[in-house]
Amino acid sequence: MKTKISYRPSQLDEASNPNAGQNQTRLPFVLWLLSVISIILLILVGGGLFFFPDFSRPIWLWSLTPFNLRFLGAIYLTALVALANLVLAKRAALIRLIVPMMWVFTTVVLLVSCLHIEQFNAGRKTTDIWFWLYLIDCVGASYYLGYIKQISFGGLCRLPLAWSVALGVQAGLLGVYGLGLLIFPEVTSSSWSWPLDVFHSRLYSSIFLTGAIGSAILSVRANAIECRALGVIQVAFSGWVLAGVWVVDSAVKKIDWSLSSNWVWLGAIALPGIFGIGLILQSQNGREDRL
């Protein structure tokens, strides 16, 4: 028997209010606990890498350049924003969006870590912790993918055609680029503003593939709270990455800004954030013919 979750997509306040309408299904306790633990770890790890790089670099599991330090920190801080949205919603409203994104992210990172086991020191306890944490998150997300099938999300509707197509295009571009970084890392990463080795190229594919699955889900059907959540996640990603690049390059001055390719890369990183702002504004539109 499926659990019914109903939304009135024409009313943002009701869609985002955990006590509105029939949206009373609570977030499963185990998923809530897993998310809270992950949030705490993401604050420590992401915050350490991004804000305290000199402290984090010597104790990290593998060698990191200044740009990779900040970029990896930006990824974890973006993941923090995603899980915070899930936990703060308090109900199952965002499971349909966040859990598949969580599954893709953890699965890709775990896969890449196994493929590049030589990057890790087998004698360090942190190595065991890394693999166990990602394995637990991956298994947990896999289980709740099945849980999603037991829930009937009422009130979901298609976005206006332009937004639906735009999300589909974004999903395609992010997916192709993410797969390129994963399967053809040397070629795909050649457009980056700093050199990437094969390991980091494949590791970073996780964030683009995660964005692709989120965009694909909402391109079919969506409600206001999902659009707002994805928009906030995309703004966070672009904002953290751009801030990290600016801070690092201001110190080391390694990026040649006379090359148009570096500006193209920077613009490509900014685009998801700009699109995310549009999604946030779209989610605030209360007209039923819009959302």
Measured from the Cβ of residue 174, the count of other Cβ atoms closer than 10 Å reads: 21
Give pLDDT, residue 152. Answer: 74
Residue 53 has what pLDDT? 96
Give the C-alpha separation, 132 to 112, whole Å: 14
Structure confidence at residue 93 (pLDDT): 83
**Nearest-angstrom CA–CA distance, 179 and 50:** 26
Q: What pTM, to 2 d.p., does this model score? A: 0.90
Maximum separation of any 2 CA atoms in the chain, in Å: 61
Tokens of 88: 């703060």
- The pLDDT of residue 17 is 42
* Rounded CA Rg of the chain: 19
Closest CA to 147 of 110, 104, 92, 107: 92
Please report the pLDDT score of residue 10 as a whole number. 40
Q: How far apart are CA 229 and CA 223, in angstroms?
A: 10
Return all residues near 33 (Cβ < 8 A) that are at least 6 apart.
none
How confident is the model at residue 11, as a pLDDT?
39
Helices 66-89 and 198-220: angle between axes, nearest 10 degrees: 30
Question: Per residue of the chain (291 residues), what is the pLDDT tens digit?
Answer: 454 444 344 434 344 443 343 345 788 999 999 999 999 999 999 999 999 999 999 999 999 999 999 999 999 999 999 999 999 988 888 999 999 999 999 999 999 999 999 999 888 999 999 999 999 999 999 999 988 888 877 668 889 999 999 999 999 999 999 999 999 999 999 999 999 999 999 999 999 999 999 999 999 999 999 999 999 999 999 999 999 999 999 999 999 999 999 999 999 999 999 999 999 999 987 444 445
The one-character DSSP state at 194 is: S
